[in-house]
Structure 1
Amino acid sequence: MRRAFLGKIREMIPAEPDTVFFTVDIGMWAIREVLRDYPERCTNVGIYEDGMFSIAAGMAKRGLVPTVFGIQPYLIERTLEQIKMDLAYQKLGINVVGTGAAVDYPKYGYSHYCAEDVQIIKSIPGCEFIAPGTAKQFLQLFEQTYRNGHPTFFRISDHPNVKYDEDVTFGKANVLQKGQKATIIAVSVMLDAVMDVCKGKDVTVLHYTTLEPFDRETLAQNCPSGKVLIVEPEYEGSLLFDVHKALAGRAIRVEHVAFPREIFRNYGTYNEKMEHYGLTPDKIHEVLERLCAE
Protein backbone atom coordinates (compact mmCIF):
# COMPACT_ATOMS: atom_id res chain seq x y z
CA MET A 1 0.00 0.00 0.00
CA ARG A 2 2.83 2.38 0.82
CA ARG A 3 4.34 1.99 -2.66
CA ALA A 4 0.95 2.56 -4.27
CA PHE A 5 0.44 5.72 -2.21
CA LEU A 6 3.86 7.19 -2.97
CA GLY A 7 3.35 6.33 -6.63
CA LYS A 8 0.14 8.35 -6.52
CA ILE A 9 2.05 11.31 -5.04
CA ARG A 10 4.62 11.08 -7.86
CA GLU A 11 1.76 11.40 -10.36
CA MET A 12 -0.39 13.90 -8.50
CA ILE A 13 2.06 16.69 -7.65
CA PRO A 14 3.28 17.33 -11.23
CA ALA A 15 -0.19 16.93 -12.75
CA GLU A 16 -2.34 18.90 -10.27
CA PRO A 17 -0.96 22.35 -9.40
CA ASP A 18 -3.32 22.84 -6.46
CA THR A 19 -2.04 19.78 -4.57
CA VAL A 20 0.62 19.84 -1.86
CA PHE A 21 2.40 17.07 0.02
CA PHE A 22 4.24 16.97 3.34
CA THR A 23 6.08 14.13 5.02
CA VAL A 24 7.93 13.70 8.31
CA ASP A 25 11.18 11.92 7.46
CA ILE A 26 9.53 8.92 5.82
CA GLY A 27 9.18 7.90 2.17
CA MET A 28 11.52 10.60 0.84
CA TRP A 29 13.66 8.29 -1.30
CA ALA A 30 10.67 6.99 -3.25
CA ILE A 31 9.62 10.53 -4.25
CA ARG A 32 13.04 12.19 -4.34
CA GLU A 33 12.52 13.63 -7.85
CA VAL A 34 9.23 15.26 -6.86
CA LEU A 35 10.80 16.70 -3.70
CA ARG A 36 13.60 18.10 -5.85
CA ASP A 37 11.45 19.46 -8.70
CA TYR A 38 8.50 20.84 -6.70
CA PRO A 39 9.97 22.10 -3.41
CA GLU A 40 7.26 24.73 -3.04
CA ARG A 41 4.54 22.02 -2.95
CA CYS A 42 6.31 18.84 -1.86
CA THR A 43 8.34 19.04 1.35
CA ASN A 44 9.88 16.92 4.10
CA VAL A 45 9.23 18.99 7.23
CA GLY A 46 11.24 16.68 9.50
CA ILE A 47 10.01 15.13 12.74
CA TYR A 48 7.33 17.77 13.28
CA GLU A 49 3.90 16.17 12.93
CA ASP A 50 1.91 18.75 14.89
CA GLY A 51 3.48 21.61 12.95
CA MET A 52 2.92 19.75 9.68
CA PHE A 53 -0.81 19.58 10.40
CA SER A 54 -1.02 23.30 11.04
CA ILE A 55 0.96 24.05 7.88
CA ALA A 56 -1.34 21.78 5.88
CA ALA A 57 -4.37 23.47 7.43
CA GLY A 58 -3.09 26.85 6.29
CA MET A 59 -2.62 25.50 2.78
CA ALA A 60 -6.15 24.07 2.76
CA LYS A 61 -7.51 27.41 3.95
CA ARG A 62 -5.97 28.93 0.82
CA GLY A 63 -7.82 26.45 -1.38
CA LEU A 64 -5.04 23.92 -1.88
CA VAL A 65 -5.44 20.15 -1.44
CA PRO A 66 -2.89 18.88 1.11
CA THR A 67 -1.84 15.29 1.71
CA VAL A 68 0.39 14.43 4.66
CA PHE A 69 2.26 11.21 5.40
CA GLY A 70 3.74 9.69 8.53
CA ILE A 71 3.67 6.90 11.10
CA GLN A 72 0.23 6.30 12.57
CA PRO A 73 0.79 6.86 16.33
CA TYR A 74 2.55 10.16 15.68
CA LEU A 75 -0.06 11.31 13.18
CA ILE A 76 -3.00 10.41 15.43
CA GLU A 77 -1.85 10.88 19.02
CA ARG A 78 0.89 13.48 18.88
CA THR A 79 -1.28 15.78 16.78
CA LEU A 80 -4.64 15.30 18.47
CA GLU A 81 -5.11 19.00 19.31
CA GLN A 82 -4.30 19.97 15.72
CA ILE A 83 -6.75 17.38 14.39
CA LYS A 84 -9.46 18.77 16.64
CA MET A 85 -8.83 22.50 16.17
CA ASP A 86 -7.04 22.90 12.82
CA LEU A 87 -8.79 20.20 10.80
CA ALA A 88 -12.19 19.29 12.27
CA TYR A 89 -13.21 22.65 13.75
CA GLN A 90 -12.16 24.50 10.59
CA LYS A 91 -13.82 21.87 8.33
CA LEU A 92 -10.73 21.62 6.15
CA GLY A 93 -10.08 19.04 3.46
CA ILE A 94 -6.78 17.38 4.37
CA ASN A 95 -5.71 13.82 3.56
CA VAL A 96 -3.75 12.09 6.32
CA VAL A 97 -2.05 8.86 5.27
CA GLY A 98 -0.59 6.81 8.11
CA THR A 99 1.57 3.70 7.95
CA GLY A 100 2.47 1.41 10.83
CA ALA A 101 -1.06 0.81 12.08
CA ALA A 102 -1.65 -1.35 15.18
CA VAL A 103 1.43 -3.64 15.38
CA ASP A 104 2.75 -3.24 11.83
CA TYR A 105 6.10 -2.02 13.23
CA PRO A 106 6.70 -4.74 15.85
CA LYS A 107 10.46 -4.33 16.19
CA TYR A 108 10.17 -0.71 17.34
CA GLY A 109 8.01 -1.42 20.38
CA TYR A 110 5.03 0.29 21.97
CA SER A 111 5.93 3.82 20.82
CA HIS A 112 5.20 2.70 17.24
CA TYR A 113 1.92 0.85 17.93
CA CYS A 114 -1.49 2.38 17.34
CA ALA A 115 -4.44 0.07 17.86
CA GLU A 116 -6.47 3.00 19.20
CA ASP A 117 -6.47 5.09 16.00
CA VAL A 118 -9.95 4.15 14.82
CA GLN A 119 -11.75 5.01 18.04
CA ILE A 120 -9.81 8.27 18.44
CA ILE A 121 -10.67 9.60 14.99
CA LYS A 122 -14.26 8.35 15.15
CA SER A 123 -14.69 10.39 18.34
CA ILE A 124 -14.02 13.66 16.47
CA PRO A 125 -17.10 14.72 14.47
CA GLY A 126 -16.54 15.49 10.81
CA CYS A 127 -13.49 13.27 10.32
CA GLU A 128 -13.45 10.31 7.94
CA PHE A 129 -11.49 7.09 8.47
CA ILE A 130 -10.56 4.71 5.66
CA ALA A 131 -8.81 1.36 6.12
CA PRO A 132 -8.25 -0.34 2.76
CA GLY A 133 -7.47 -4.03 2.58
CA THR A 134 -5.17 -3.86 -0.45
CA ALA A 135 -3.14 -1.38 -2.50
CA LYS A 136 -5.78 -1.36 -5.23
CA GLN A 137 -8.46 -0.51 -2.71
CA PHE A 138 -6.35 2.31 -1.29
CA LEU A 139 -6.03 3.89 -4.73
CA GLN A 140 -9.76 3.53 -5.38
CA LEU A 141 -10.71 5.11 -2.06
CA PHE A 142 -8.13 7.87 -2.32
CA GLU A 143 -9.36 8.82 -5.79
CA GLN A 144 -12.94 8.92 -4.51
CA THR A 145 -12.22 11.14 -1.50
CA TYR A 146 -9.05 13.22 -1.71
CA ARG A 147 -10.91 16.28 -3.00
CA ASN A 148 -14.08 15.92 -0.93
CA GLY A 149 -13.29 18.76 1.48
CA HIS A 150 -13.22 16.66 4.68
CA PRO A 151 -10.39 15.63 7.00
CA THR A 152 -9.82 12.08 5.77
CA PHE A 153 -7.55 9.60 7.52
CA PHE A 154 -6.14 6.60 5.64
CA ARG A 155 -4.75 3.62 7.57
CA ILE A 156 -2.42 1.72 5.23
CA SER A 157 -0.76 -1.57 6.11
CA ASP A 158 2.29 -3.58 5.11
CA HIS A 159 0.21 -6.76 5.53
CA PRO A 160 -2.63 -6.53 2.98
CA ASN A 161 -5.15 -9.13 1.94
CA VAL A 162 -3.76 -11.37 -0.80
CA LYS A 163 -6.65 -13.63 -1.81
CA TYR A 164 -9.48 -11.09 -1.82
CA ASP A 165 -9.19 -7.75 -3.62
CA GLU A 166 -12.69 -6.70 -4.64
CA ASP A 167 -13.56 -3.20 -5.83
CA VAL A 168 -14.65 -0.86 -3.04
CA THR A 169 -16.67 2.33 -2.71
CA PHE A 170 -16.21 4.99 -0.06
CA GLY A 171 -18.87 4.78 2.64
CA LYS A 172 -20.15 1.36 1.58
CA ALA A 173 -19.54 -2.14 2.94
CA ASN A 174 -19.19 -5.04 0.49
CA VAL A 175 -21.36 -8.12 0.90
CA LEU A 176 -19.05 -11.07 0.19
CA GLN A 177 -21.56 -13.82 0.98
CA LYS A 178 -24.96 -14.23 2.61
CA GLY A 179 -26.10 -16.67 5.28
CA GLN A 180 -28.49 -17.04 8.19
CA LYS A 181 -26.56 -18.09 11.29
CA ALA A 182 -24.40 -15.00 11.94
CA THR A 183 -22.98 -11.87 10.33
CA ILE A 184 -19.22 -11.34 10.31
CA ILE A 185 -17.80 -7.85 9.88
CA ALA A 186 -14.33 -8.22 8.36
CA VAL A 187 -12.41 -4.97 8.72
CA SER A 188 -9.69 -3.95 6.29
CA VAL A 189 -6.81 -6.47 6.13
CA MET A 190 -8.69 -9.17 8.08
CA LEU A 191 -10.77 -10.32 5.11
CA ASP A 192 -8.47 -13.14 4.01
CA ALA A 193 -8.50 -14.67 7.49
CA VAL A 194 -12.28 -14.29 7.75
CA MET A 195 -12.93 -15.91 4.38
CA ASP A 196 -10.56 -18.78 5.19
CA VAL A 197 -13.01 -19.63 7.97
CA CYS A 198 -16.35 -18.54 6.56
CA LYS A 199 -16.36 -19.41 2.86
CA GLY A 200 -19.15 -21.87 2.20
CA LYS A 201 -20.65 -21.56 5.68
CA ASP A 202 -24.21 -20.39 6.36
CA VAL A 203 -23.08 -16.95 7.48
CA THR A 204 -23.00 -13.44 6.05
CA VAL A 205 -19.64 -11.74 5.49
CA LEU A 206 -19.40 -7.96 5.18
CA HIS A 207 -16.11 -6.26 4.32
CA TYR A 208 -15.65 -2.74 5.68
CA THR A 209 -12.96 -0.43 4.32
CA THR A 210 -14.66 2.82 5.34
CA LEU A 211 -14.94 2.94 9.13
CA GLU A 212 -16.18 6.53 9.39
CA PRO A 213 -18.80 7.14 8.16
CA PHE A 214 -19.86 3.59 8.99
CA ASP A 215 -22.31 1.93 6.59
CA ARG A 216 -25.07 1.06 9.06
CA GLU A 217 -27.65 0.42 6.36
CA THR A 218 -25.83 -2.55 4.83
CA LEU A 219 -25.36 -4.14 8.24
CA ALA A 220 -29.02 -3.60 9.15
CA GLN A 221 -30.11 -5.28 5.91
CA ASN A 222 -27.75 -8.23 6.27
CA CYS A 223 -28.05 -9.43 9.86
CA PRO A 224 -31.00 -11.85 9.98
CA SER A 225 -29.76 -13.68 13.09
CA GLY A 226 -28.91 -10.70 15.29
CA LYS A 227 -25.53 -12.37 15.92
CA VAL A 228 -22.49 -10.30 14.93
CA LEU A 229 -18.79 -11.14 14.98
CA ILE A 230 -16.50 -8.13 14.46
CA VAL A 231 -13.02 -9.05 13.24
CA GLU A 232 -11.01 -5.84 13.40
CA PRO A 233 -7.25 -5.09 13.41
CA GLU A 234 -7.64 -2.44 16.11
CA TYR A 235 -8.85 -2.31 19.71
CA GLU A 236 -11.95 -4.40 20.31
CA GLY A 237 -15.10 -2.32 20.50
CA SER A 238 -13.92 0.37 18.09
CA LEU A 239 -17.02 -0.21 15.92
CA LEU A 240 -19.41 -1.30 18.65
CA PHE A 241 -21.34 2.00 18.82
CA ASP A 242 -22.09 1.84 15.09
CA VAL A 243 -23.17 -1.79 15.26
CA HIS A 244 -25.60 -1.02 18.08
CA LYS A 245 -26.97 2.00 16.21
CA ALA A 246 -27.38 -0.02 13.01
CA LEU A 247 -29.34 -2.74 14.82
CA ALA A 248 -31.21 -0.51 17.26
CA GLY A 249 -34.39 -2.02 18.64
CA ARG A 250 -33.31 -5.58 17.94
CA ALA A 251 -32.00 -8.26 20.28
CA ILE A 252 -28.38 -8.75 19.28
CA ARG A 253 -25.29 -10.64 20.40
CA VAL A 254 -21.86 -9.22 19.51
CA GLU A 255 -18.49 -10.98 19.74
CA HIS A 256 -15.02 -9.69 18.85
CA VAL A 257 -11.78 -10.95 17.39
CA ALA A 258 -9.54 -7.93 17.84
CA PHE A 259 -6.69 -6.49 19.87
CA PRO A 260 -7.50 -6.41 23.59
CA ARG A 261 -7.61 -3.01 25.27
CA GLU A 262 -4.23 -3.20 26.96
CA ILE A 263 -0.71 -1.87 26.59
CA PHE A 264 1.36 -4.17 24.39
CA ARG A 265 4.50 -4.95 26.36
CA ASN A 266 5.53 -8.16 24.62
CA TYR A 267 7.98 -8.50 21.73
CA GLY A 268 8.02 -10.52 18.52
CA THR A 269 7.33 -10.38 14.80
CA TYR A 270 4.08 -9.17 13.28
CA ASN A 271 2.85 -12.74 12.81
CA GLU A 272 3.84 -13.66 16.37
CA LYS A 273 1.86 -10.71 17.71
CA MET A 274 -1.19 -11.56 15.64
CA GLU A 275 -0.98 -15.11 16.97
CA HIS A 276 -0.46 -13.94 20.56
CA TYR A 277 -3.50 -11.66 20.48
CA GLY A 278 -5.69 -14.12 18.59
CA LEU A 279 -6.20 -12.34 15.27
CA THR A 280 -6.01 -15.65 13.43
CA PRO A 281 -8.30 -17.98 11.46
CA ASP A 282 -8.25 -20.47 14.35
CA LYS A 283 -9.54 -17.87 16.79
CA ILE A 284 -12.14 -16.62 14.32
CA HIS A 285 -13.35 -20.20 13.87
CA GLU A 286 -13.52 -20.76 17.64
CA VAL A 287 -15.51 -17.60 18.35
CA LEU A 288 -17.79 -18.05 15.35
CA GLU A 289 -18.66 -21.65 16.30
CA ARG A 290 -19.52 -20.54 19.82
CA LEU A 291 -21.62 -17.64 18.57
CA CYS A 292 -23.58 -19.77 16.12
CA ALA A 293 -24.23 -22.47 18.72
CA GLU A 294 -25.78 -20.09 21.25
Structure 2
Amino acid sequence: MDSMRDRFAATTTRLLDEDPSLAVVLAEISADRFEQAGRDHPDRVINVGIREQLLVGVGAGLALAGLRPVVHTFASFLIERPFEQVKLDFGHQDVGGVLVSAAASYDWPAGGFTHMAPGDVALLDTLDGWTVHVPGHPDEAETLLRHAVAAGDDRVYVRLSEQANTSPVKVDGEHFRTVKEGRSGVVVAVGPMLDNVLRATEGLDVTVLYATTVRPFDAEALRAAVGPGPAEVVIVEPYLAGTSTGEADTALLDVPHRVLGLGVGRAELRRYGQIEEHLAAHGLDAVSLRGRISGFLSLPEGGA
Protein backbone atom coordinates (compact mmCIF):
# COMPACT_ATOMS: atom_id res chain seq x y z
CA MET A 1 0.00 0.00 0.00
CA ASP A 2 1.32 3.44 -0.86
CA SER A 3 1.58 6.02 1.89
CA MET A 4 -0.72 9.00 2.32
CA ARG A 5 2.12 11.30 1.29
CA ASP A 6 2.73 9.27 -1.87
CA ARG A 7 -0.96 9.46 -2.70
CA PHE A 8 -1.00 13.21 -1.99
CA ALA A 9 1.83 13.82 -4.45
CA ALA A 10 0.33 11.62 -7.17
CA THR A 11 -3.15 13.09 -6.80
CA THR A 12 -1.95 16.69 -6.67
CA THR A 13 0.20 16.13 -9.76
CA ARG A 14 -2.87 14.95 -11.66
CA LEU A 15 -4.89 17.89 -10.37
CA LEU A 16 -2.21 20.30 -11.59
CA ASP A 17 -2.69 18.87 -15.08
CA GLU A 18 -6.46 19.21 -14.84
CA ASP A 19 -6.86 22.58 -13.12
CA PRO A 20 -4.89 25.65 -14.29
CA SER A 21 -5.93 27.57 -11.17
CA LEU A 22 -4.13 25.13 -8.84
CA ALA A 23 -0.64 25.87 -7.50
CA VAL A 24 1.67 23.95 -5.17
CA VAL A 25 4.08 25.58 -2.73
CA LEU A 26 6.80 23.48 -1.09
CA ALA A 27 9.62 24.05 1.40
CA GLU A 28 11.97 21.23 0.28
CA ILE A 29 9.89 18.53 1.98
CA SER A 30 8.44 16.17 -0.69
CA ALA A 31 10.11 18.21 -3.46
CA ASP A 32 11.41 15.01 -5.04
CA ARG A 33 7.83 13.83 -5.46
CA PHE A 34 7.01 16.93 -7.55
CA GLU A 35 10.02 17.02 -9.88
CA GLN A 36 8.07 16.11 -13.02
CA ALA A 37 5.17 18.36 -12.05
CA GLY A 38 7.65 21.20 -11.62
CA ARG A 39 9.00 20.64 -15.11
CA ASP A 40 5.48 20.50 -16.53
CA HIS A 41 4.18 23.50 -14.59
CA PRO A 42 7.18 25.62 -13.56
CA ASP A 43 4.97 28.65 -12.84
CA ARG A 44 2.65 26.72 -10.52
CA VAL A 45 5.03 24.45 -8.57
CA ILE A 46 7.15 26.64 -6.31
CA ASN A 47 9.83 25.45 -3.89
CA VAL A 48 10.81 28.28 -1.53
CA GLY A 49 13.51 26.29 0.25
CA ILE A 50 13.69 25.92 4.02
CA ARG A 51 11.72 29.10 4.66
CA GLU A 52 8.44 28.12 6.27
CA GLN A 53 7.11 31.62 6.96
CA LEU A 54 7.71 32.44 3.29
CA LEU A 55 6.03 29.15 2.34
CA VAL A 56 2.76 30.24 3.91
CA GLY A 57 3.08 33.84 2.74
CA VAL A 58 3.62 32.78 -0.88
CA GLY A 59 0.61 30.48 -0.66
CA ALA A 60 -1.58 33.31 0.60
CA GLY A 61 -0.20 35.61 -2.10
CA LEU A 62 -1.15 33.12 -4.78
CA ALA A 63 -4.64 32.98 -3.27
CA LEU A 64 -4.87 36.77 -3.47
CA ALA A 65 -3.92 36.46 -7.15
CA GLY A 66 -6.86 34.11 -7.76
CA LEU A 67 -5.12 30.71 -7.57
CA ARG A 68 -5.98 27.81 -5.29
CA PRO A 69 -2.74 27.10 -3.36
CA VAL A 70 -1.78 23.74 -1.90
CA VAL A 71 0.89 24.41 0.73
CA HIS A 72 2.88 21.46 2.04
CA THR A 73 5.56 20.50 4.56
CA PHE A 74 5.85 18.70 7.90
CA ALA A 75 3.14 19.71 10.39
CA SER A 76 5.57 21.32 12.81
CA PHE A 77 6.84 23.58 10.02
CA LEU A 78 3.41 24.19 8.47
CA ILE A 79 1.26 25.02 11.51
CA GLU A 80 3.54 25.76 14.46
CA ARG A 81 6.57 27.61 13.07
CA PRO A 82 4.68 29.96 10.68
CA PHE A 83 1.53 30.25 12.78
CA GLU A 84 1.52 34.05 12.58
CA GLN A 85 1.47 33.83 8.79
CA VAL A 86 -1.34 31.25 8.89
CA LYS A 87 -3.31 33.57 11.18
CA LEU A 88 -2.67 36.79 9.25
CA ASP A 89 -1.86 35.93 5.65
CA PHE A 90 -4.74 33.49 5.27
CA GLY A 91 -7.13 34.35 8.10
CA HIS A 92 -6.85 38.13 8.43
CA GLN A 93 -6.72 38.58 4.65
CA ASP A 94 -9.69 36.19 4.38
CA VAL A 95 -8.29 34.07 1.56
CA GLY A 96 -8.52 30.33 1.10
CA GLY A 97 -6.01 27.58 0.58
CA VAL A 98 -5.19 23.98 1.37
CA LEU A 99 -2.51 23.23 3.94
CA VAL A 100 -1.33 19.62 3.68
CA SER A 101 0.97 18.31 6.40
CA ALA A 102 3.04 15.19 6.89
CA ALA A 103 4.77 13.54 9.87
CA ALA A 104 2.56 15.09 12.51
CA SER A 105 2.39 13.80 16.08
CA TYR A 106 5.31 11.32 16.06
CA ASP A 107 5.34 9.88 12.54
CA TRP A 108 9.08 10.40 12.13
CA PRO A 109 10.46 9.69 15.60
CA ALA A 110 14.08 9.90 14.41
CA GLY A 111 13.48 13.57 13.60
CA GLY A 112 13.06 14.32 17.28
CA PHE A 113 10.72 16.78 18.94
CA THR A 114 11.39 19.50 16.36
CA HIS A 115 9.54 17.33 13.83
CA MET A 116 6.57 16.51 16.05
CA ALA A 117 3.38 18.58 16.24
CA PRO A 118 0.70 16.87 18.32
CA GLY A 119 -0.82 20.30 19.07
CA ASP A 120 -1.46 21.29 15.44
CA VAL A 121 -5.24 20.81 15.40
CA ALA A 122 -5.63 22.44 18.81
CA LEU A 123 -3.62 25.41 17.56
CA LEU A 124 -5.79 25.78 14.45
CA ASP A 125 -8.81 25.68 16.77
CA THR A 126 -7.81 29.16 17.96
CA LEU A 127 -8.59 30.48 14.46
CA ASP A 128 -11.93 30.89 12.72
CA GLY A 129 -13.11 29.15 9.61
CA TRP A 130 -10.75 26.19 9.15
CA THR A 131 -11.96 22.81 7.93
CA VAL A 132 -9.77 19.97 9.23
CA HIS A 133 -9.51 16.56 7.54
CA VAL A 134 -7.70 13.64 9.21
CA PRO A 135 -7.68 10.68 6.80
CA GLY A 136 -6.93 7.21 8.06
CA HIS A 137 -6.03 5.56 4.74
CA PRO A 138 -4.42 6.70 1.44
CA ASP A 139 -7.75 6.27 -0.40
CA GLU A 140 -9.40 8.59 2.13
CA ALA A 141 -6.52 11.03 1.79
CA GLU A 142 -7.14 11.24 -1.96
CA THR A 143 -10.87 11.76 -1.50
CA LEU A 144 -10.41 14.44 1.14
CA LEU A 145 -7.66 16.19 -0.81
CA ARG A 146 -9.88 16.41 -3.88
CA HIS A 147 -12.68 17.69 -1.67
CA ALA A 148 -10.36 20.32 -0.19
CA VAL A 149 -9.04 21.52 -3.54
CA ALA A 150 -12.58 21.88 -4.87
CA ALA A 151 -13.79 23.76 -1.78
CA GLY A 152 -13.86 27.22 -3.38
CA ASP A 153 -12.10 29.79 -1.22
CA ASP A 154 -12.33 27.80 2.00
CA ARG A 155 -9.36 27.33 4.32
CA VAL A 156 -8.66 23.61 4.72
CA TYR A 157 -6.07 21.62 6.65
CA VAL A 158 -5.41 18.03 5.53
CA ARG A 159 -3.41 16.12 8.15
CA LEU A 160 -1.57 13.18 6.59
CA SER A 161 0.01 10.39 8.61
CA GLU A 162 2.46 7.53 8.15
CA GLN A 163 0.00 5.48 10.22
CA ALA A 164 -2.87 3.99 8.26
CA ASN A 165 -5.83 1.68 8.81
CA THR A 166 -5.92 -1.60 6.94
CA SER A 167 -9.00 -0.74 4.87
CA PRO A 168 -10.52 2.55 3.71
CA VAL A 169 -13.94 3.82 4.70
CA LYS A 170 -16.15 5.74 2.29
CA VAL A 171 -15.83 9.36 3.43
CA ASP A 172 -17.47 12.54 2.14
CA GLY A 173 -15.53 15.39 3.74
CA GLU A 174 -18.34 16.20 6.17
CA HIS A 175 -19.87 13.39 8.22
CA PHE A 176 -18.83 10.81 10.79
CA ARG A 177 -19.50 7.20 9.82
CA THR A 178 -21.01 4.54 12.09
CA VAL A 179 -18.80 1.44 11.84
CA LYS A 180 -20.14 -0.43 14.89
CA GLU A 181 -23.32 -0.17 16.96
CA GLY A 182 -23.77 -0.81 20.68
CA ARG A 183 -25.65 0.39 23.75
CA SER A 184 -23.08 1.06 26.47
CA GLY A 185 -21.30 4.14 25.17
CA VAL A 186 -19.93 5.83 22.07
CA VAL A 187 -16.31 5.81 20.96
CA VAL A 188 -15.25 8.31 18.27
CA ALA A 189 -12.14 7.09 16.42
CA VAL A 190 -10.32 9.78 14.45
CA GLY A 191 -8.41 8.93 11.28
CA PRO A 192 -5.60 6.38 11.77
CA MET A 193 -6.88 5.47 15.24
CA LEU A 194 -9.76 3.38 13.82
CA ASP A 195 -8.02 -0.01 13.59
CA ASN A 196 -6.75 0.17 17.17
CA VAL A 197 -10.15 1.33 18.43
CA LEU A 198 -11.91 -1.56 16.68
CA ARG A 199 -9.44 -4.04 18.15
CA ALA A 200 -9.81 -2.41 21.56
CA THR A 201 -13.62 -2.57 21.50
CA GLU A 202 -13.98 -6.07 20.10
CA GLY A 203 -16.70 -7.80 22.12
CA LEU A 204 -17.67 -4.57 23.90
CA ASP A 205 -21.24 -3.32 23.56
CA VAL A 206 -20.34 0.14 22.24
CA THR A 207 -20.99 2.27 19.17
CA VAL A 208 -17.91 3.30 17.18
CA LEU A 209 -18.09 6.42 15.04
CA TYR A 210 -15.34 7.09 12.51
CA ALA A 211 -14.28 10.70 12.01
CA THR A 212 -12.05 11.92 9.19
CA THR A 213 -13.44 15.46 9.09
CA VAL A 214 -13.17 16.81 12.63
CA ARG A 215 -13.79 20.51 11.93
CA PRO A 216 -16.57 21.28 11.54
CA PHE A 217 -17.38 18.66 14.18
CA ASP A 218 -20.32 16.44 13.21
CA ALA A 219 -22.50 17.23 16.22
CA GLU A 220 -25.57 15.71 14.58
CA ALA A 221 -23.92 12.30 14.19
CA LEU A 222 -22.78 12.28 17.82
CA ARG A 223 -26.20 13.31 19.09
CA ALA A 224 -27.85 10.59 17.01
CA ALA A 225 -25.44 7.98 18.36
CA VAL A 226 -25.95 8.82 22.05
CA GLY A 227 -29.72 9.27 21.88
CA PRO A 228 -31.54 11.03 24.74
CA GLY A 229 -28.81 10.22 27.26
CA PRO A 230 -27.33 10.04 29.73
CA ALA A 231 -24.34 9.62 27.44
CA GLU A 232 -20.78 8.42 27.84
CA VAL A 233 -18.40 9.33 25.03
CA VAL A 234 -14.75 8.52 24.41
CA ILE A 235 -12.84 10.40 21.69
CA VAL A 236 -9.61 8.79 20.47
CA GLU A 237 -7.52 11.25 18.45
CA PRO A 238 -4.01 10.93 16.94
CA TYR A 239 -3.02 14.34 18.29
CA LEU A 240 -3.19 16.21 21.61
CA ALA A 241 -5.50 14.49 24.09
CA GLY A 242 -8.70 16.44 24.70
CA THR A 243 -8.58 18.46 21.48
CA SER A 244 -12.22 17.65 20.64
CA THR A 245 -13.78 17.20 24.06
CA GLY A 246 -15.09 20.77 23.98
CA GLU A 247 -16.74 20.11 20.64
CA ALA A 248 -18.46 17.03 22.09
CA ASP A 249 -19.55 18.95 25.18
CA THR A 250 -21.13 21.62 23.00
CA ALA A 251 -22.84 19.03 20.82
CA LEU A 252 -24.36 17.40 23.92
CA LEU A 253 -25.10 20.61 25.82
CA ASP A 254 -28.68 19.59 26.69
CA VAL A 255 -27.87 15.90 27.26
CA PRO A 256 -26.45 14.57 30.55
CA HIS A 257 -23.04 13.26 29.56
CA ARG A 258 -19.41 12.48 30.34
CA VAL A 259 -16.59 12.78 27.79
CA LEU A 260 -13.11 11.25 27.91
CA GLY A 261 -10.49 12.53 25.49
CA LEU A 262 -7.68 10.12 24.63
CA GLY A 263 -4.73 11.16 22.50
CA VAL A 264 -1.13 12.27 22.69
CA GLY A 265 -0.05 13.40 26.15
CA ARG A 266 1.61 16.73 26.87
CA ALA A 267 4.75 15.22 28.37
CA GLU A 268 7.64 15.12 25.90
CA LEU A 269 9.04 11.65 25.22
CA ARG A 270 12.78 12.22 24.95
CA ARG A 271 13.73 8.98 23.18
CA TYR A 272 13.30 8.57 19.46
CA GLY A 273 11.89 5.03 19.46
CA GLN A 274 9.47 3.80 16.80
CA ILE A 275 5.90 4.81 16.01
CA GLU A 276 4.56 1.72 17.79
CA GLU A 277 6.51 2.62 20.93
CA HIS A 278 5.08 6.14 20.91
CA LEU A 279 1.58 4.72 20.50
CA ALA A 280 2.08 2.49 23.53
CA ALA A 281 3.69 5.26 25.59
CA HIS A 282 0.67 7.49 25.00
CA GLY A 283 -1.79 4.66 25.70
CA LEU A 284 -3.06 4.56 22.11
CA ASP A 285 -2.25 0.94 21.28
CA ALA A 286 -5.15 -1.50 21.24
CA VAL A 287 -4.35 -3.13 24.60
CA SER A 288 -4.06 0.19 26.44
CA LEU A 289 -7.16 1.60 24.75
CA ARG A 290 -9.23 -1.41 25.79
CA GLY A 291 -8.37 -0.88 29.43
CA ARG A 292 -8.92 2.89 29.31
CA ILE A 293 -12.22 2.67 27.41
CA SER A 294 -13.56 -0.20 29.52
CA GLY A 295 -12.62 1.57 32.72
CA PHE A 296 -14.33 4.80 31.75
CA LEU A 297 -17.48 3.02 30.58
CA SER A 298 -17.43 0.61 33.55
CA LEU A 299 -17.34 -2.40 31.23
CA PRO A 300 -15.48 -5.65 31.93
CA GLU A 301 -12.40 -5.80 29.69
CA GLY A 302 -13.35 -9.30 28.62
CA GLY A 303 -16.50 -7.98 26.92
CA ALA A 304 -20.00 -6.88 27.83
TM-score (norm: length of structure 2): 0.93
**Residue 196 (structure 2) pairs with residue 204 (structure 1):** no
Residue 157 of structure 1: aligned partner: 161
**Residue 279 (structure 2) pairs with residue 284 (structure 1):** no
**Residue 254 (structure 2) pairs with residue 259 (structure 1):** no
Between the aligned residues of both structures, percent identity stands at: 29
Q: Which runs of 5+ in 1 are unaligned?
A: none
Q: Trace 1:60-209 onto structure 2 (pairs within 5 A).
A: 60-148=63-151, 149-162=153-166, 164-209=167-212
Residue 13 of structure 1: aligned partner: 16
Q: Does structure 2 retain, via aligned residues, the 8 Å contact 1:182–1:227?
A: yes
Q: Give the Cα–Cα distance (whole angstroms) in 2 for the partners of residues 8 and 290 of structure 1.
A: 42
Instruction: Report how far residue 200 of structure 1 moved.
Output: 4.5
- Aligned AA (2:236): V
Q: Deviations over 1:188-241 (max 9, x none)?
A: 100000111224531110011111111111001101451111111111110011
Q: Give the Cα–Cα distance (whole angstroms) in 2 for the partners of residues 293 and 18 of structure 1.
A: 53
The SS at the match of 1:284 is helix
Q: Give the Cα–Cα distance (whole angstroms) in 2 for the partners of residues 205 and 80 of structure 1.
A: 34
Q: Does structure 2 retain, via aligned residues, the 8 Å contact 1:122–1:129?
A: no
Q: Does structure 1 retain, via aligned residues, the 8 Å contact 2:74–2:101?
A: yes
Aligned counterpart for 1:40 among listed residues 39, 43, 46: 43
Q: Does structure 1 retain, via aligned residues, the 8 Å contact 2:245–2:260?
A: no
- Aligned AA (1:266): R
Q: Deviations over 1:253-291 (max 9, x none)?
A: 222331112233233111111111211111111012212
The SS at the match of 1:222 is helix
The SS at the match of 2:270 is coil
Q: Does structure 1 retain, via aligned residues, the 8 Å contact 2:190–2:236?
A: yes
* CA RMSD across the alignment: 1.4
Q: Give the Cα–Cα distance (whole angstroms) in 2 for the partners of residues 14 and 234 of structure 1.
A: 34
The count of corresponding residues between Structure 1 and Structure 2 is 293
Q: Give the Cα–Cα distance (whole angstroms) in 2 for the partners of residues 264 and 197 of structure 1.
A: 24
Q: Does structure 1 retain, via aligned residues, the 8 Å contact 2:68–2:96?
A: yes
Residue 246 of structure 1: aligned partner: 251
